[in-house]
Structure 1
Amino acid sequence: MTTAVKPTVSRALFTVKDAADYLSLGRSTIYELMAAGALPYVKVGRARRVRRTDLDAFAAALPQQTA
């Protein structure tokens, strides 16, 4: 028996909830980062969306903690 495998679709835009899940942060933190200008976003109608490239750039720019 074969199992169908769903192709992985790389999304370009994330909802605030999905962006929070992607970065392992809370939704309110994502809204705060967007309001402070630390996390760029686009508006599609009334909805805010965050680009995957902006999420990756934000995570890469975080300072590394040393023990």
Structure 2
Amino acid sequence: MALYPAVTLIFWLFGPLLADLPLLIRTFAVTAVVIVAMTYFLMPFMTKTFSFWLYPKKNNNTES
């Protein structure tokens, strides 16, 4: 839910600038930008947004 939009946005923003670069350099540049964005911006946001699902509250009322 975060990776695909991030990659699409990077290609949309920087695509024309990267078009003339060789494939390996272009791939490295996009990967580096996406990794930084995912690590410092997107994953903390996603973790906070979906914390109710990632870290559900434990129910102490166990019924037997």
Task: Give the TM-score of the pair, scaled to structure 2.
Answer: 0.32
For CA contacts below 8 A with separation 6 or more, give which structure has more relative contact order.
2
Q: Which structure has the bigger radius of gyration? A: 2
Comparing both structures, which one devotes a greater share of its residues to strand?
A: 1
